[in-house]
């Protein structure tokens, strides 16, 4: 697991789970892909390979 400081905009842009959650489970169930880049920032794990939200401003 990589650790990285993210900006508030990055945190809002990518899906996350609490650090007590299971990245392995998210990938096993197919919500996240096997090769996705996941990083921990504070108490959350963010999937940087997926973008959520609407338009970029």
pLDDT in tens, 5-45: 999 999 999 999 999 999 999 999 999 999 999 999 999 99
pTM of the full structure: 0.87
Q: Are strands 38-41 and 2-3 parallel, antiparallel or unpaired?
A: parallel
Contacts of 40 (CB under 8 A, 6+ apart): 1, 2, 3, 4, 19, 46
Write out the residue range of the structural domain in which residue 32 sits.
2-47
| Confidence label for 54 from pLDDT (cuts 50, 70 and 90) | low
Specify the number of domains making up the chain: 1
In a domain, residue 22? The reply is yes
In a domain, residue 52? The reply is no
Q: What is the side-by-side order of every strand in the sheet holding 2-3? A: 2-3, 38-41, 44-47, 16-18
């Amino acid at each position: 697991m990589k650790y990285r400081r993210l900006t508030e905009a990055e945190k809002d842009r990518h899906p996350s789970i609490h650090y007590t959650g299971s990245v392995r489970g998210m990938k096993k169930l197919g919500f996240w892909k096997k090769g996705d880049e996941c990083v921990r920032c504070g108490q959350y794990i963010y999937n940087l390979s997926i973008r959520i939200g609407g338009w970029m401003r």
